[in-house]
Structures are given as C-alpha cells and as structure tokens.
Structure 1
Amino acid sequence: MADHVLLEAGDDLVRQLSHERETVKAVLELVWNALDADATKVDVSIERSVMGAVEKVVVSDNGDGITPEKARTAFRQVGNSDKREGGTTPRLGRPLHGKAGRGRLRAFALGDHTLWASTARAADGRLMRTTIESEVRRRTTWRIDSRPEAETAGAGTSVESWGKQSRHLDRLLEPKAATQITAALAPYLLTWTDVRVTYDGQLIDPLTQIEDEEQSEELSFEHDGESHLFRVRLIHWRTGSERTIALCDAASAPVETIDASAEHSDFAYTAYVVWEPMPRHRNEVPMTTMCT
C-alpha cells in the first residue's frame, strides 16, 4: 500500500528550487546524489521527441539505492540534510556532496512529472523496490510505494523527469552542457578514477579536456577576526569558453559557482577555491571575501 508524504517546506521555496532555467544544475544535483550513494556508474540519458526537443531526462546509477525507511524521511523535508556538514559515504568512504536534500526538488526543472525508482536493502535485510512519484501541480506531496524485490536484482536508482514544455530544456542539448558538467565533476573524477559518468551518450572524461593545471600553496583570508586557510586549483581547458570560479568543499566538489566570463582571458578555465567549511557558508560573506 502506498504512502503519501507531505514535504515540510513552503511552496515558494519548492518553486525556487525547481526553477526551470537551472536545467544543467538540476542534472548535476542528481548526479551528485548518485555519487553520494556510492555509485560507480552514472548515466544521464536524454530522450527526444520526433521534433528533436527534450522529452524526458533519466539519471540512472548503480549506487546503494534508497531504502523505504530513508524515502519516508528524506522526502518529508528540505534542509538540515545529514550531508550538509560533509563527511564520507558509508561503504566506499568517498566525500559527501549533497546540498541539504535539494536535488529531488531540482528535478522539477527537468519535467513536470518525476519518478524515482530505487532498489536497496531495507532495515530488515530484504531487498526492496521503492518508487517515489510527484508532479509539479502537487509538488509538496510525494507518493511512496515499496515492495519486495528479487534477490538477483542489483541495487541502484533511476530518476525520470518528463512532461515539461520549455525552451530552457534545449540547453541540455548544447555542447556547453557537457562542458559545464565536466568542469563541475573534474576534481572528483580525477580523484576517484573508478567512477564513470556518461552524459547523452558521451563519457565525461576530464583528462581529455585538460590543457594545463596549476595548484597554489595554502593561502589565507580573514573573517570574523580569524584566519582561514584555503587553496586554489586552476584547470585550463583545451576547448570551450568556460571561465568560472568554483567554490568547493575539501574534496574539491563545487558548492556554488561564480561566472567569471566578464574577465577578459584568452583561455578557458575553472578556478576551484577549496575550503573545507565551504558547505556551511553557502551564500555568505566568506565566499566573496576569498575571491577579492
């Protein structure tokens, strides 16, 4: 029997997080969710209509999945995520990245309907298949259903979003989309070389795109009367026009990005500003202080 879970968040916040212009960021949030579940394979597929428009986006992975117990708590609130303070994944010990449980809401930037289907081992030891559904008209209500799964089934999760008519979805088909995803995932993929991410049939491989790389010694900045240490990792890209500053956690996973395209430069680059407490200071003064 299915449960209906009411999200404990205002509809205005939900609307903001599901802003339709943030399509590439929405895909990235779902990819990070998969990596936080210890996935080693993540595939982003884009289904097109007969006219070539984006019809459905599917993000699938071979991670540990979402248990029925986790589904009923994780889809009940936004904010105060156990991933906000960082930490590592339970099985492989990789750094956690999630942004306070917002990825599930950003999925509405990709479609008016969302379906999460996940296989995981429940608290009682059984392998369970859990589906979580919602639609934009009732985006604070989630229908959750669980049933036993065959022991031969593998763990993992797929997220499907469809039914949105928006020109902003076309950005997912532009070459720049793969470039942005490569830049965001580069430090992670360069560290965890067993992870494979594909986007619309293309393997995301930063090694083939890097022209040069530089790393600073430890630097410092002052905030609230205290000195804080950080470092900068600069990657020069072979192609594209990407010029961004990525504000990162200790694992070099971007928390936020700053568009630096207004600064004149004859090369494409991403500057990763690495500071361990970064996730706790999203949208706060220290971030701008470090870049001035």
Structure 2
Amino acid sequence: METKRVRAGSDTLLALADRATPVDIVTELIWNALDAEAMNVDVTVTVNELGAPEEIVIRDDGHGMTYGQVPDLFLIHGESWKKARRFSPNIARPMHGHFGRGRFLVYGIADRVEWRTVAMDGDAMTETMIYSRRSAPNEFSMDGPRPAEEPTGTTVRLIARQEQRVQVLVDGDVVLPVMARLAATLLALPDVKVTYNDNALDPADYVNLDIDLDVVVSDEALQNKGNPRLRVVEWSADMRSKAIFLCDEHGRVVTEYKPNRLPPAPIHWSAYLLWDGFGDHELMGHADLYVPDVRHGELLAVAQHALTQHLNQRLYEQKGKILAEWKSEGVYPYLGEPASPAEEVEREIFDIVAVVASPAIGRDVKQKRFSLRLLQEAARAEPSRTNRILNAVLDLTPDEQQVLSDLLERTKLASIVQAAQTVADRSDFISGLGKLLFSDETRRTFREVDQLHPMLVSEPWIFGDEWALALSESGLARVVEMVVSQSPNTVFAPRPVLLPSGRRGRVDMVFYRYLPESERSRHLVVELKRPMRLTMTEFGQLNNYATAITGNAEVASGLHAWDFWLVGTEIDDAVKNLSNDVSQPGLVSVTARYRLWVIDWATLLDRAQRRIEAFRSALDLVSTDETSRTYLQRRHAEFIPFSE
C-alpha cells in the first residue's frame, strides 16, 4: 500500500468540506459517477440502532479508474483533469467537475472513506483501492492494482460522522432536494437511472412547469462568454430548493445562489442559470463558489429581477385561482364586498397570508374552513381596536391598540411588521459588524474580498438609504460605461480606463443617485479595507481611482457629482491632517471633479445607528450579542471568520 499527500493543508480541505451541506456532498458524488459515464448510480444509506446514518454507499457502473490515474485524480486540490475536457471520452457526455473539489467534500459527512474502483487497464481488468480519513484529509492511501473479473465501476463507502447535520440523509423526503440539484442533468439524460435507497430519482415525474425567462446583460458582464439562460422549474412537491442554481451551459450545477426577499409565491420552484462562464475556472474561483455576486453581480441581479417578475406573476395567478376555489367550496371566511376600509385592509392581508400558507391549509373542506377561520382571526384588525389574538400576541395596552388601529387605516399590517423587522435587522447588523471589526477574536482574521465585501453587498443601506447599489467589484471601464449609459446624449466608446500608472484597477462598490431637481446624478465609490490602519498608500490608491474615472472624457462632460470614500478601522495621522473642514468630518480633498473622504468604521456605524435610532426607540427594540449573532448567522454565515 502506498500513501501520498495532497498539496493542500488539512484546515483548508476541512473548511471546504464543512461549508458543503450533506445534500451537496451526495449530489457531488453522484455527478462524479455520471462524469465516469455511469448509466446506473445507486445511493444507499444504512442506519444504526438509534436511526442515525451509519454508512453511505454510492455504486456506479462507469468506466472506473486505473491505479495509474489515481494520483492525478486525487492528489491535486483546486485543479481537475475535467477542466481540459468538456465531454467524457467514450460517449461524449457533458462533464460536471472542473474545480477539483468533489473528492474532498466527503469529509463533511464521513470520518473514513473507501473507494473501490474497477477499470480496464490496457487489455486487463484491474481493481484499485483508495483509503482516506477526516483526521488526515490531505492523505490518500492506494492499494493495487489487482486483477479483477467484475465489470467496470466504482463503489464509494463512507463511514458517517455521528453529527446532527448528517441526519438529513435519512429524512423521508431527502430525495427531493437531491433530485432538484440533479434535475437539469437528469432531464437531459433520460437513459440514466439514479436511485436513493431504492427510490428512483426522476425529476420529470415532479415537473409542473418548465420555462425559460429572458436574461439580457452587458457584453462586459458576459466576459467573452455566451448568452445566459434562466430556466425555472415548478414542482408538484416541495424540493426544498428555492434557489438559483448556477450551472454551466449543459446544466451542471457549479454552486447555488439564494437571493433575498423574493415574492412568496405559493409554488415549489427551482431556478437554473445556465452560462458557460460558470464552468470556467478562471471566472469561478474558490471564493466565487460562495460569493458569486461579487464578481458576477450584474448577471445575478438581472436573473433575480426576471425571477422576481415571474414569481410575482405566479403569486397573482395563484391568488386568483386559490381564492376562487375557496369561494366556490364555501370555505372563504368573508361574504360579499368589504363593508369598510378597515375590512378591505383586513381582507388584503388575509388573502396574501392565506394564499402563501395554502399548501398547509389541507384538502378536506371542513379542515379548510377551520384553518381559514383561524387565519382570519390572526389577520383581523377592527377600526377601533385589534382583536384578541393580536392583543395576546403583541401584549398591547388599550392606547397602543388605538394607535395601531389608526395606523392600519393608512397602511397595511404587513408593512408595519416588515418595517419593524427591517429596523431590528439593521440594528443587529450594525452591532454584529462592529464586533467583527473590533473584537480581538475576529479582527485579525476578517478578510476584505470574500467576507467583508460580500456582506456589504447585501447591506448597502449602511452607506445611506439614499443610495442605490449600481456595481460591485467592477473594473474602471465598467464604471465609466455605467455612468455614460445614464446620459442619453452620450455614447460610450469602449476603450481601457487606466490608472495614472497605466495599469487597470477595480473598485469595490459604486452607488448611484439621480437628483431630478438639478438634472444631475451623484455617484459614490467606496473602497473598503479590512480591519487596518489607513495610510497615505491607501489614500493614494483612492486618489488614483478618482483621477482615472472622473478624468475620462465622457464622464467629465456630463452632469455628474462624485464622492470617493476610503473606509478602515483606523486612520493614520498623516491622512487625518489632510482634513481642514471641521464641519464635514472625513472630507480630505475637494477638486473641481470630485471629493475624497477617509472615514473610520466606528464613525460610519455610528451614523448608521443614528439614522435608525428614533425608529428603534419607538419600537422598543434592543440588539444584544445573541440577536446580533443570530442575524449574522442567518444572513451572512458563510462570511463570518472563525475565531482564533
């Protein structure tokens, strides 16, 4: 037996494995089998006497691996032989793996792993064994080759980790999210049979609707690749996969992206964004697998917009259909037209809540009537006071009930709840981000590109509610093109936009605001720095960006106002001394074309906190360490640095 090491550290490999979900890991192993030209793949999960997963076995009848191929297939992290081949060697099947990570993901669910593979090596059939364990993830032991008589194929045997997260693999409906991730591939390979504990994975049996939505993006966003395609599949069962799966042009899933605040359409859906750029390892590096919106923000924003429009339309359609069905069955709890504006508000709230909750309402008429009556009580608000359920849940005094009643005459209860949640979330984010930036446990490990930046892409309000995020992690030429496109009488001439040194540059975040009263547009460019002291070096970088962008002829001729911010945890005295306007803290330079600001994180977070303070106090909201951690885990878990 021979043992060899991977050219990567144990911590790196385990961090990669632990970020993946058990469903992701099993799906990746199935894809490996399909890449090996398997026509049959069988997944079996056995349990111990307590019902916990004990062993996971994946068997396939693909072409297997020879002993001589194993080093190239197993011992290089972040590289894959498949990236040089788009199709399998014998039957020209589109290949999935291009990133050289699949074999390492097994450590997320297994303590020990064994591969037994049979392949044709020249004129002889041979068997090779490969062994690995989580305690030494960068080591693989190989035994063989030995003569074999069985057909070609590979069996992967995993001894499951005894952890709660692995339990999902024996849930009764785990086949559904596995199927959803494989759907684009399996729908294109009808002759392939994949089973999970003897259950056939055939997504075609669950498809209610399969459509393509228009996605149009700029040439720069395409980066010399083909046009993307957004495929939306609506399912007859809950696949637990309401996400945009980023796929190459053949439908092989590379990673997934979960947008925020999509319409709550009462349907089960999955979206697949197919683009050949997602299969290019140059455009999808390691960080892009977890924060794809940093590099591909425009493409994902356009896809999310198209998906939002589709879900809004489906919500509208389903609302009419479901309400009509309830009314025809006599279970809808309202009769005739609304008797008052308050009842009209009540019905509007009820209709949305009930339609979104419709999958859980039940099918029996009696059960529907009872469930809808309960929902009616929960949504009802009378003109003079809220009902007893709201009173019990919110613990309102009579005066507070009257205030809420008056407010309900001017707005929707859903809007009140959403506004309160927004203020609470923002307060928790400010508190949580401050701890990440200044705590001794995290500030030294908090990274700019793949942690701080992607967090703020989802929280642009931190820089001011008046700004709309226009670009993220974009080249200088893209910034100029965006600005020029907003001016109807100016044509963008595609050419490089260079720094004074002659080099290209990239800015972190660009914000936009149009001022109709002056017919001018304002732009804010933010350069983020992880916890560090800002010196004249960082200030010089910001100044160079400002000079390159605003000095462009098309930009200089337009009605544009520019502010450039440099943000860090501390500011060097030499930079502080540049500021001479005490009425505008942080302003260090003013030219005819732009203003430069250097701001520390403490000041920025304090300003953000002040903007929401009146609302937070009125709502009696308190951000604690626990609520801040909970919010960061819910919204930004993948970007939080590990404590040392």
Q: Which TM-score bucket, shorter chain as reference?
A: over 0.9
| Cα deviation, residue 21, structure 1 | 5.9
SS in structure 2 of the partner of residue 220 of structure 1:
coil
Which of the pair has more CA radius of gyration?
A: 2
Counterpart of 1:289 in structure 2 is 298
AA in 1 matched with 2:165? H
Spell out the pairing of 1:1-292 with structure 2 (5 A cutoff): 2-19=1-18, 22-84=21-83, 87-122=86-121, 124-150=122-148, 152-216=149-213, 219-223=216-220, 229-240=227-238, 241-260=240-259, 262-263=261-262, 264-280=264-280, 281-282=283-284, 283=288, 284=292, 285-292=294-301
| Cα deviation, residue 175, structure 1 | 4.2
AA in 2 matched with 1:149? P
| Cα deviation, residue 224, structure 1 | 5.8
SS in structure 1 of the partner of residue 117 of structure 2:
strand
AA in 2 matched with 1:288? G
AA in 2 matched with 1:72? P
Label 1:175 to 1:279 Cα distance change in 2 as closer, same or farther (>3 A).
farther
Is residue 79–residue 98 contact of structure 2 (8 Å, CA) maintained in 1? no
Label 1:20 to 1:274 Cα distance change in 2 as closer, same or farther (>3 A).
closer
Label 1:163 to 1:178 Cα distance change in 2 as closer, same or farther (>3 A).
closer
Counterpart of 2:372 in structure 1 is none
AA in 1 matched with 2:32? N
How many aligned residue pairs are there? 289
Label 1:171 to 1:161 Cα distance change in 2 as closer, same or farther (>3 A).
same
Label 1:185 to 1:99 Cα distance change in 2 as closer, same or farther (>3 A).
same
Taking structure 1 as the reference length, what is the TM-score of the superposition?
0.92
| Deviation per residue, 1:197-253 (Å, 9 max, x gap) | 111221101111111111235633443695751111110011115311011101111
| Cα deviation, residue 79, structure 1 | 1.5
Q: Distance in 1 between matches of 2:250 and 2:213?
A: 16
Q: Distance in 2 between matches of 1:86 and 1:182?
A: 25
Q: Distance in 1 between matches of 2:159 and 2:260?
A: 32
Task: Identify the range of structure 1 (79-88 vs 49-58) with the bigger mean alpha-carbon deviation.
Answer: 79-88
Q: Distance in 1 between matches of 2:256 and 2:141?
A: 33
Q: Distance in 2 between matches of 1:15 and 1:216?
A: 38
| Cα deviation, residue 20, structure 1 | 7.2
Q: Distance in 1 between matches of 2:63 and 2:241?
A: 33
Q: Structure 1 stretches of 5 or more lacking a match?
A: none
Is residue 116–residue 155 contact of structure 2 (8 Å, CA) maintained in 1? yes
| Cα deviation, residue 17, structure 1 | 2.2
Task: Identify the range of structure 1 (3-12 vs 176-185) with the bigger mean alpha-carbon deviation.
Answer: 176-185
| Cα deviation, residue 176, structure 1 | 4.8
Which structure dedicates a bigger proportion of its chain to helix?
2
Identity percentage of aligned residues:
26
Which structure dedicates a bigger proportion of its chain to strand?
1
Is residue 244–residue 260 contact of structure 1 (8 Å, CA) maintained in 2? yes
Q: Distance in 1 between matches of 2:21 and 2:232?
A: 25
| Cα deviation, residue 108, structure 1 | 1.3
AA in 2 matched with 1:291? L
| Deviation per residue, 1:26-83 (Å, 9 max, x gap) | 1011111000000010111001001111001111100000111111222211112122
| Deviation per residue, 1:160-210 (Å, 9 max, x gap) | 110521111111122452111111111211111110111122110111111
Task: Identify the range of structure 1 (190-199 vs 209-218) with the bigger mean alpha-carbon deviation.
Answer: 209-218
Is residue 119–residue 149 contact of structure 1 (8 Å, CA) maintained in 2? no
Task: Identify the range of structure 1 (187-196 vs 56-65) with the bigger mean alpha-carbon deviation.
Answer: 187-196
Is residue 44–residue 199 contact of structure 1 (8 Å, CA) maintained in 2? yes
AA in 2 matched with 1:289? E
AA in 1 matched with 2:298? T
Taking structure 2 as the reference length, what is the TM-score of the superposition?
0.43
Task: Identify the range of structure 1 (167-176 vs 44-53) with the bigger mean alpha-carbon deviation.
Answer: 167-176
Q: Distance in 2 between matches of 1:21 and 1:275?
A: 22
| Cα deviation, residue 267, structure 1 | 0.9
Q: Structure 2 stretches of 5 or more lacking a match?
A: 302-644
| Cα deviation, residue 262, structure 1 | 4.5
SS in structure 1 of the partner of residue 276 of structure 2:
coil
Label 1:287 to 1:203 Cα distance change in 2 as closer, same or farther (>3 A).
farther
Determine which structure has greater relative contact order: mean sequence separation of CA pairs < 8 Å that are 6+ residues apart, divided by chain length: 1
